[in-house]
Amino acid sequence: MPPSTTLLLPLFLKVAGRDVLVVGAGEVARAKIAALLDAGARVRVVAPGAVEAVRAWATEGRIVWAERPFEGGDLDGAWLVFAATSEAAVQAAVGREADARRVFCVAVDDPANASAYSGAVVRRDPFLVAISSSGAAPALTRLVREVLEHVLPEDRWVERAKELRAKWMAEKTPMGGRFAELVRAIAREE
């Protein structure tokens, strides 16, 4: 029986210093641009208008904004593209052009035109957890993210795990015995 959702390969992308195109400059695009800037991407934006935050980033030189509609050549040099508009025809054009150029396209809330999906993300150093519903249930994906935020390990657990890892490396402890020792150590701290 075939799966009910698209099978995906989960990846974490290093976009620092890489050219990423965002088509659209509304509130949804703003959130994607902010995440890309946090990850160190070189962000180019194409949109006829923009929300204030996007305009400010362009003025500050943090992004390059072309204040006009999308054109196929906008994908030149891009490693990744986000289609974040409310216009179905633009979303489809970006998806087609990205596919023709073999550039992954995250078409926000538009699985038919996407070749990649961004997930709901939980960041709590050193953890980075991303959750995806393959575009089928974005609101539920957000709920799962919020639940995970409450159950990720506390900082003291992370510190204890780092201490144990250093000990295991020094003592050449086999992998098979490490997990049980970690569980016992965390349980003692509770």
| Predicted confidence (pLDDT) per residue in 121-168, tens digit | 888 777 888 888 777 787 888 888 888 888 877 778 888 888 888 988
Collapse the DSSP code of 6 into the 3-class scheme (helix H, G, I; strand E, B; otherwise coil) and give the result. Answer: coil
Q: Is the pLDDT at 1 greater than 80, yes or no?
A: no
Is 174's pLDDT higher than 90?
no
127-135 contacts: CB < 8 A, separation 24 or more? 127/152, 127/153, 128/12, 130/10, 130/12, 132/8, 132/10, 133/5, 134/5, 134/6, 134/8, 135/6, 135/109, 135/111
Residue 53 — pLDDT band, cuts 50, 70, 90?
Answer: very high
Q: Is a pLDDT exceeding 90 seen at residue 175?
A: no
Indicate if the pLDDT at residue 7 is higher than 80. Answer: no
Q: Quick one: pLDDT at residue 6?
A: 64
Considering only 46-50, 52-56, 132-136, 174-178, which range has the smallest mean pLDDT? 132-136
- Would you say residue 59 has pLDDT above 70? yes
The Cα-based distances of 83 to 9, 51, 87, 149, 171 in angstroms read 20, 16, 10, 28, 51
Report whether pLDDT(37) > 60.
Answer: yes
What is the pLDDT at residue 152? Answer: 77
Number of C-beta neighbours around residue 115 at 10 A: 15
Strand partners, 44: 21, 64
pLDDT given at position 136 = 77
- pLDDT of residue 3 exceeding 80: no
Whether the model pTM is above 0.75: yes
Q: Counting Cβ atoms within 10 Å, is residue 182 exposed (0-12), middle (13-18) or buried (19+)?
A: middle
In one-letter notation, the amino acid at residue 78 is: A
Match 């657990």 to its residue by tokens. 157
